[in-house]
Amino acid sequence: MPLHTAIIVSDAHISSRTGDSVSVAFQRFLVEVPKLGRHLVLNGDLFEFWFEYRSVIPRGVFPVLASLWEVVRQGVRLTVTGGNHDRWGGRFWREQMGADYHRRTVELDLAGWRALVGHGDGDIEPEFLSRAVHRVIGHPLTAAVFRALHPDVGFWLVRKSSGLLSRRKDNAGGTNKAAEAQARSARKLLERRADLDLVVLGHTHSASLEAVAHNRWYLNPGAWMNGFEYAVVAAKGPELRRFE
């Protein structure tokens, strides 16, 4: 068993629809995770929307949460970072799921490599409006206002306005620009931080593995929702994979 291997998944965008193919495939994948490694990193936008009230969570994604809990129960470490669709987590992940939860970025030891892991949204958006929307939605005051709404009202509003969070997917040109900007940002970060071996980002839905220097990489695992893409990080370094 690969005790020190880490598995990284980003941008699954699992919805609350019963029988959704992306969700079903992810649950099948989770059954295999304990055979692949002992650390699962969910790097943002696991869900199409997630907001954690004090005593309420979205019920439609319960099957995925139950599968994740079984993975943790088998001794796999779970680390979750927030993305622009699901940044509003907290105590539920820690207390009920046994996960380490980080709203934005975290530095981790992944199979012996020092890694900075974060979803990567906001600053790399090619359009000003997209950057503004991400910053407003991610602001603590916005979360406080949303929490004051009844959950049924809040989730209805999200369904009506979800396109604002997904503007980057409207055209391939915008996606390519964001991916290029993200790679440049990762290279600069590795230049500044000699202590980092690996920068892991998501958000652009563009899988990438770039060796910036010897034993130093920029990694984007791609989007699970786009053909079940993911990545592993082992003692020999990172690798892009696809779940069949």
Q: How far apart are the first and last CA of the chain?
A: 20
pLDDT at 166 over 60: no
Using pLDDT thresholds of 50, 70 and 90, give the confidence band for residue 186: very high
Instruction: Give the pLDDT band (50/70/90) at residue 135.
Output: low
DSSP code at position 129: H
pLDDT at 1: 47
Which pLDDT score, from 0 to 100, does residue 60 have?
A: 87
Instruction: Indicate whether 1 belongs to any domain.
Output: no
Per-residue pLDDT tens over the stretch 200-242: 999 999 999 999 999 999 999 999 999 999 999 999 999 999 9
Instruction: Report d(CA 60, CA 44) in Å as an integer.
Output: 18
pLDDT at 70 exceeding the cut of 90: yes
Contacts (Cβ under 8 Å, ≥6 apart) of 3: 37, 38
The top-scoring range by mean pLDDT among 13-27, 51-65, 73-87, 131-145 is 73-87
Say how far residue 37 (Cα) sits from the centre of its chain: 18
Residue 168: per-residue pLDDT: 45
Residue 91 lies in a domain: yes
Average pLDDT over residues 64-70: 97
Which residues have C-beta within 8 Å of that of residue 223, sequence separation ≥ 6? Answer: 10, 11, 12, 13, 202, 205, 207, 229
User: Is 32 part of a structural domain of the chain?
Assistant: yes
149 three-class SS = coil
Q: Which residues contact 153 (CB under 8 A, 6 or more apart)?
A: none
pLDDT band at 165 (very low <50, low <70, confident <90, very high): low
Cα(232)–Cα(71) distance, integer angstroms: 16
Q: How many domains does the chain have?
A: 1
Q: 176 in a domain, yes or no?
A: yes
Give domain status of residue 36, yes or no.
Answer: yes
pLDDT digits (tens, 9 = 90+) for 77-120: 999 999 988 888 889 999 999 999 999 899 999 999 999 999 99
Q: Give 133's pLDDT tier (boundaries 50, 70, 90).
A: low
Residue 241: per-residue pLDDT: 98
| Residue numbers of the domain that contains 27 | 6-242
Which pLDDT score, from 0 to 100, does residue 54 have?
A: 82
Please provide the size of the chain in residues: 244
According to the 3-state scheme, what is the secondary structure of 58-110? CHHHHHHHHHHHHHHHCCCEEEEECCCCCCECCHHHHHHCCCEEECCEEEEEE
Closest CA to 106 of 214, 11, 8: 8
Residue 95 counted as domain residue: yes
Q: What is the CATH number of the domain that holds 17?
A: 3.60.21.10
Residue 16, domain member (yes or no)? yes
Whether 164 shows a pLDDT value over 70: the answer reads: no
pLDDT at 162 over 70: no
